[in-house]
Amino acid sequence: SSGLISEDTLLGNTYKKVDENRYASGADNYFEVQILPLLKKWKSLDSRIIYVVIMDRNGYMPVHLDPGRSGVIMEDQVSLKGARSEKVIGQAFRRPKEVGGELVNDISAPIFVNGKHWGCIRIGYMPEGSSEADSEDQKMLSSTHAVSV
């Protein structure tokens, strides 16, 4: 973590309730300054990408491209499976109608901090029916690796 934040603070799972749906942790500023710009950059790499998020093992998202979603704890099965897996996994699901209802391919790669599992990075993208898109999906799946900080 380059000395910018202590490992204990980064790995701590202590959340303070901010409002009805959002929380805060001691590491939020680190994620805001160091990680959010990377998420923005990665989201812009391909128009099929719907989201790029990070979450800890509990589904807590310290930052989000939509500021209103920062601090939310995701409790759905797809999110928690990705957050708790120590291996790269791919999942497909249909988003709720209120956020589009589209079919999403979701790739989750674990994030480790000094060898300890923190959570994951998740990339959700639109599947396309063409063989070129299918080929790109396979490349993305086969080239995804665990992330270490």
Closest CA to 119 of 130, 133, 108: 108
Separation between Cα atoms, residue 79 and residue 91, nearest integer Å: 10
Mean pLDDT of 103-115: 95
pLDDT higher than 80, residue 131: no
Separation between Cα atoms, residue 85 and residue 137, nearest integer Å: 20
Three-class DSSP category at 135 = helix
In words, the CATH class of domain 7-148 is: alpha beta
Burial class (CB in 10 A: 0-12, 13-18, 19+), 24: middle
Q: Name the residue type at position 82.
A: G
Mean pLDDT of 96-122: 92
The residues spanned by each domain of the chain are 7-148
**The residue to which tokens 């589904």 are assigned:** 59
Could you tell me the pLDDT band of residue 2, with boundaries at 50, 70 and 90? Answer: low
pLDDT tens-digit series, residues 29-54: 999 999 999 999 999 999 999 999 99
**The residue to which tokens 């805001």 are assigned:** 32
Q: What is the pLDDT of residue 133?
A: 45
Percentage of the chain with pLDDT > 70? 84
Mean pLDDT, rounded, of the chain? 86
Cα 143 to chain centroid, rounded: 17
pLDDT higher than 90, residue 90: yes
Q: Name the residue type at position 44.
A: S
Ranges of beta strands (E only) in the chain are 16-17, 23-24, 49-56, 89-94, 103-113, 116-125, 147-148
pLDDT tens-digit series, residues 3-34: 578 899 889 889 999 999 999 999 999 999 99
